[in-house]
Amino acid sequence: MRLTAIGCSGSFPGPDSPGSSYLVEHEGFRLLLDLGSGALGPLQRHADLLEIDAVVLSHLHADHCLDMCSYVVFRRYHPAGVPPRLPVYGPRGTHGRLAAAYEPTSTESLNDVFSFNALVPGQRELGPFQVQVDRVDHPVETFAVRLSAGNRTLTYSGDTGPSDALVKLAAGSDVLLCEASFENGDGPAHLHLSGQEAGEHARRAGVGRLLVTHIPPWSDRVRIMAAADAAFNGPIEEVAASVSYDI
């Protein structure tokens, strides 16, 4: 299983990264986790946009989903014709949210390019992946995602405040791809994790490696990473855009 960070900037695109988007590949299957602001451009450096097999959207904030609107243009107006509908899994209301963002004055459906499926807590098969999701703590309906394939497991936190559900979902994962937006629990409740909390969640879940992501451009990434490292007793790394990680 290979993870490529297409975008990893928290809350809004930064000078070195677009919003959240992660490409996970196994046995030729390409699964996209989120497609946030600005991510469609750099995604093309790592994959043919016609060869993405499915998209999972953790939630419907712009920094995690808004480039799906540009993806509509690519698929609907491709010179070779409209490709088969792409499976898109997301929270309830995903179709309406993207349709309104794509064309606010139109009732035009996006069903010609995407096949929408509502996420619910539980497990399903998606290509070679066993996919398990659960709700986490964010102001809108948000899901953390656990992917298992080839005896390896990756868990993606999505956006969340402190969450026992995330710890349970990530238990025993080889890698936890976890957001951290603050240093030491100094942010608003029910919104994001601090570096310290990301490390604590990884330690409680007993994961093999912690990849810290979603650090906003205005945050002190050195202090956030130091706080995460102090709370976690295993390998830890700050995610960088366009970097790939073998799981």
3-class DSSP state of 166: helix
Structure confidence by residue, pLDDT tens digits, 46-98: 999 999 999 999 999 999 999 999 999 999 999 999 999 999 999 999 999 99
Overall pTM surpassing 0.75 (yes/no): yes
Q: Which domain, by its residues, includes 146?
A: 2-246
Distance of CA 220 to the CA centre of its chain: 22
Strand runs labelled E in 80-169: 86-90, 114-118, 122-126, 129-135, 143-149, 152-156
Which amino acid is it at 190? Answer: H
- Predicted pLDDT at 187: 72
* Element (DSSP H or E) covering residue 3: strand 2-7
| Angstrom distances, CA of residue 245 to CA of 3, 112, 222 | 5, 34, 21
- Predicted pLDDT at 105: 83
- Predicted pLDDT at 2: 98
Enter the tokens of residue 89.
């899994």
Looking at residue 168, which CATH number applies to its domain?
3.60.15.10
Number of domains the chain is built from: 1
Report, as ranges of residue numbers, the positions in the chain whose pLDDT lies below 50. none
- Predicted pLDDT at 185: 67
The residue assigned the tokens 């976890």 is 178
- Predicted pLDDT at 186: 67
| Angstrom distances, CA of residue 204 to CA of 19, 66, 90, 105 | 28, 33, 27, 47
